[in-house]
């Protein structure tokens, strides 16, 4: 896998490029982006070795697609059209069902591997790319059996080498689970930020009182709307289900408070406290 | 302020003890706690120099009360009864209205200073105490005019020396604002944890998929129910108001998704994104 083409050179694409180059110094990383300014920035930062276009993909040993999931669904068939018989295309999108579906009958389906590296920060773009982002993180691979064995083997070796552990899941299960542990967190954070900002319009000083706890809870509200809108759109049904459950739990908590049932409030928190043990080791 | 009595030697009381001792090596820190095991642990960790009881308070130059806010309301009049004319009692509670009210007519009111250092972690107890917790943090002081000038001057000098900036606010405003930037974050975190844990009962593997974003959003769900139940009880009206607004915002977001209005979803997130600038410098 000497010639690697990164379509999208932001947080995920750029960070993958850094780590792959570090572990495989002889690879050449070619960057592809909608915006030339983004490519120039990636070149300047040393994330990529060369600028390229979609037409160059025929020379690729590996293509890594790390762009918003609506763009992936749109572009993936064209990318697969262009890949050589010995080349592999992987995507790093946060949804998997629509992406797998759009290429399910593509003649080059066996040259595609669907994956979701569970890693990131709230920042975006080439400047957000960091070394070692994937160390100890989970890479969820979907429909592995649909990919040519030799190609999956090479790719999974590469992603294991940069520090990831591989887990296998079908795309429907992936989207249902990830709604709970990732998509819902983002909405809870965005709406918490909104609630406090609305208040702050009338109360200028309120943010002076915010501490590290608030900052931690609202951190994901810094995330890119360009990236997250299509995720919520593609995973609409699952996300609405998680929102229903979350809103019900909040409403129940509020009702307990209204009823002065603070013993039950205590129990609500006590029963959730063991999240400590569950979270141990995640970060 | 040579003899300092710390009532409560957990995260806040213990961390204050560490930093005060560091900046004023000649002070003697006396620890007071409901549980002897807690005091022994604080002694073992070097947070306090000596164990003491409430009856010793007459010898105090400064008493720092860092216990759950219901215990503070209950105990504060007794503590003030015992303080000498030249001694000062401060509290570090997360609510201020009930605490100020319970001593408003106390004959020693001028020997009390109400404050809320906006600092902490999700951990609790003596082992959670850390050095430098208060550096660069805000200490909100309420009804400063009700405290003897010489005593407030000494205390504020001490808290400034350990790195805090002082802000003044009345207790009613404090409780209304802090509901937004602290209390609501804790509930949003606890209920997010609950929502995902409920799901996890049926889906064992879901937490393997959780990343650092989820961990950050749910971090406060590790907080102590013993400490937070009385906070929610004392600040009930304000907290219910913030919950109403938060639930409304989440419900609106859900309705936009149901209506496939993803342009509006994008705007919701875009409009909250400037939380970036607001948060700069908080942590």
Please tell me the distance in Å from A55's CA to the nearest CA on chain B: 32
Same domain, A120 and A181: no
B186 Cβ neighbours under 8 A, 6+ residues apart:
A213, B220, B221, B223, B228
At A54-64, the pLDDT tens digits run: 999 999 999 99
| Partner residue facing A282 (CB), from B182, B210, B260 | B210
Same domain, B24 and B138: yes
Please tell me the distance in Å from A60's CA to the nearest CA on chain B: 30
Measured distance CA(B34)–CA(A255) in Å, rounded: 32
Looking at chain B, which residue has its C-alpha nearest residue A227? B266
CB contact under 8 A, B273 and A222: yes
Nearest to A11 by CA among A139, A108, A91, A125: A125
Query: Which domain CATH number covers B257?
Result: 1.10.3660.10
Q: What is the mean pLDDT of chain A?
A: 95
- Take residue A269 and report the two structure tokens written for it: 């928190």
Please tell me the distance in Å from A143's CA to the nearest CA on chain B: 17
**Residue where a domain terminates, one of A123, A147, A169:** A169
> Per the structure, how many domains does chain A have?
2
Same domain, A16 and A71: yes
Q: What's the pLDDT at A281?
A: 55
Same domain, A129 and A219: no
Interface probe, candidates A140, A141, A269, chain B, greatest B C-beta count within 10 A? A269
Looking at chain B, which residue has its C-alpha nearest residue A208? B138
Query: Which domain CATH number covers B101?
Result: 3.40.50.720
Interface probe, candidates B138, B217, B268, chain A, greatest A C-beta count within 10 A? B217
CB contact under 8 A, B220 and A213: yes
Task: Give the 3-state secondary structure of residue B53.
Answer: coil
Buried b (16+ CB within 10 A) or exposed e, B9-21: bbbbbbbbbbbbb
Q: What's the pLDDT at B52?
A: 98
Same domain, B98 and B161: yes
| Partner residue facing A250 (CB), from B220, B247, B272 | B247
Task: Give the 3-state secondary structure of residue A37.
Answer: helix
At A5-21, the pLDDT tens digits run: 999 999 999 999 999 99
Q: Kindly list the residues from chain A whose CB atom is less than 8 angstroms away from the CB atom of residue B167.
A: 208-209
Same domain, B92 and B190: no
At A132-151, the pLDDT tens digits run: 999 999 999 999 999 999 99
Measured distance CA(A161)–CA(A158) in Å, rounded: 5
- Take residue A56 and report the two structure tokens written for it: 């160059």
Same domain, A33 and A161: yes
* Integer angstrom CA distances of residue A252 from A18, A164, A195, B117: 47, 39, 19, 31
Q: Kindly list the residues from chain B whose CB atom is less than 8 angstroms away from the CB atom of residue A237.
A: none
Task: Give the 3-state secondary structure of residue B88.
Answer: strand
Decide if A26 contacts A141 (C-beta within 8 A).
Answer: no
Q: What's the pLDDT at B85?
A: 97
Please tell me the distance in Å from B197's CA to the nearest CA on chain A: 8
At A184-206, the pLDDT tens digits run: 999 999 999 999 988 877 666 67
Task: Give the 3-state secondary structure of residue A7.
Answer: strand
Q: Kindly list the residues from chain B whose CB atom is less than 8 angstroms away from the CB atom of residue A12.
A: none
Q: Kindly list the residues from chain B whose CB atom is less than 8 angstroms away from the CB atom of residue A168.
A: none
Same domain, B19 and B155: yes
Interface probe, candidates B275, B279, B281, chain A, greatest A C-beta count within 10 A? B275
Interface probe, candidates B196, B251, B281, chain A, greatest A C-beta count within 10 A? B196
Interface probe, candidates B192, B197, B264, chain A, greatest A C-beta count within 10 A? B192
- Average of per-residue pLDDT across A86-96: 98
Q: Kindly list the residues from chain B whose CB atom is less than 8 angstroms away from the CB atom of residue A138.
A: 208-209, 211
Q: How many CB pairs under 8 A join A and B?
A: 297
CB contact under 8 A, B194 and A221: no
Q: What's the pLDDT at A199?
A: 85
- Average of per-residue pLDDT across A67-87: 98
Same domain, B34 and B122: yes
Strand bridging mode B138-142 / B112-117: antiparallel
DSSP string, B121-144: -S--SGGG--TTTTTT-EEEEE-G
Nearest to A103 by CA among A169, A147, A37: A147
**Residue where a domain terminates, one of A152, A169, A186:** A169
Decide if B166 contacts B160 (C-beta within 8 A).
Answer: yes
| Partner residue facing A221 (CB), from B211, B220, B272 | B272
- Average of per-residue pLDDT across A81-90: 98
DSSP string, A123-174: --SGGG--TTTTTT-EEEEE-GGGS-HHHHHHHHHHHHHTTPEEEEE-HHHH
State the pLDDT confidence band at A282, using cuts at 50, 70 and 90. low
Q: Kindly list the residues from chain A whose CB atom is less than 8 angstroms away from the CB atom of residue B239.
A: 257
CB contact under 8 A, A247 and B242: no
Q: What's the pLDDT at B201?
A: 74
Measured distance CA(A58)–CA(A115) in Å, rounded: 21
Measured distance CA(B21)–CA(B29) in Å, rounded: 8
Decide if B93 contacts B41 (C-beta within 8 A).
Answer: no
In a structure prediction context, what are the per-residue pLDDT tens digits for chain B, which is 283 residues long?
A: 999 999 999 999 999 999 999 999 999 999 999 999 999 999 999 999 999 999 999 999 999 999 999 999 999 999 999 999 999 999 999 999 999 999 999 999 999 999 999 999 989 999 999 999 999 999 999 999 999 999 999 999 999 999 999 999 999 999 999 999 999 999 999 999 999 988 877 666 777 788 888 999 999 999 999 999 999 999 999 999 999 999 999 999 999 999 999 999 999 999 999 888 777 655 4
Same domain, A15 and A103: yes
Q: What's the pLDDT at B282?
A: 55
Q: What's the pLDDT at B210?
A: 85
Please tell me the distance in Å from B248's CA to the nearest CA on chain A: 9
State the pLDDT confidence band at A283, using cuts at 50, 70 and 90. very low
State the pLDDT confidence band at A274, using cuts at 50, 70 and 90. confident
Same domain, B117 and B158: yes
Q: What's the pLDDT at B283?
A: 47
Q: Across-strand partners of A6? A: A31, A64
A203 Cβ neighbours under 8 A, 6+ residues apart:
B177
CB contact under 8 A, A221 and B167: no
**Residue where a domain terminates, one of B129, B153, B169:** B169
| Partner residue facing A233 (CB), from B197, B233, B262 | B262
At B8-31, the pLDDT tens digits run: 999 999 999 999 999 999 999 999
At B210-240, the pLDDT tens digits run: 888 899 999 999 999 999 999 999 999 999 9
Domain span at residue B245 reads 174-279
Same domain, A165 and A79: yes
Task: Give the 3-state secondary structure of residue A30.
Answer: strand
Looking at chain B, which residue has its C-alpha nearest residue A263? B229
């Amino acid at each position: 896998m000497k010639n690697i083409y990164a379509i999208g050179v932001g947080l995920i694409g750029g960070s993958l490029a850094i780590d792959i180059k570090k572990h495989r110094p002889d690879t050449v990383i070619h960057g592809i982006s909608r915006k030339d300014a983004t490519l120039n920035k990636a070149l300047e930062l040393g994330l990529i070795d060369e600028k390229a276009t979609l037409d160059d993909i025929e020379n690729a040993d590996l293509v890594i697609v790390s762009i918003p999931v609506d763009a992936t669904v749109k572009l993936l068939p064209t990318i697969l059209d262009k890949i050589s018989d010995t080349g592999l295309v992987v995507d790093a999108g946060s949804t998997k069902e629509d992406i797998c579906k759009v290429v399910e009958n593509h003649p080059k389906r066996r040259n595609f591997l669907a994956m979701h590296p569970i890693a990131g920060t709230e920042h975006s773009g080439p400047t957000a790319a960091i070394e070692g982002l994937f160390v100890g993180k989970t890479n969820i691979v979907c429909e592995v059996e649909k990919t040519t064995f030799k190609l999956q083997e090479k790719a999974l070796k590469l992603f294991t080498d940069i520090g990831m552990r591989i887990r296998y899941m079908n795309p429907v299960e992936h989207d249902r689970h990830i709604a709970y542990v990732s998509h819902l967190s983002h909405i809870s954070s965005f709406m918490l930020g909104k609630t406090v900002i609305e208040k702050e319009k009338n109360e200028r000083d309120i943010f002076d009182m915010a501490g590290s706890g608030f900052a931690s809870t609202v951190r994901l509200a810094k995330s890119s709307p360009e990236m997250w809108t299509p995720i919520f759109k593609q995973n609409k049904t699952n996300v609405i289900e998680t929102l229903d459950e979350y809103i019900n739990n909040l409403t129940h908590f509020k009702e307990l408070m209204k009823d002065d049932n603070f013993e039950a409030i205590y129990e609500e928190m006590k029963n959730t406290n063991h999240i400590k043990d569950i979270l141990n080791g995640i970060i």
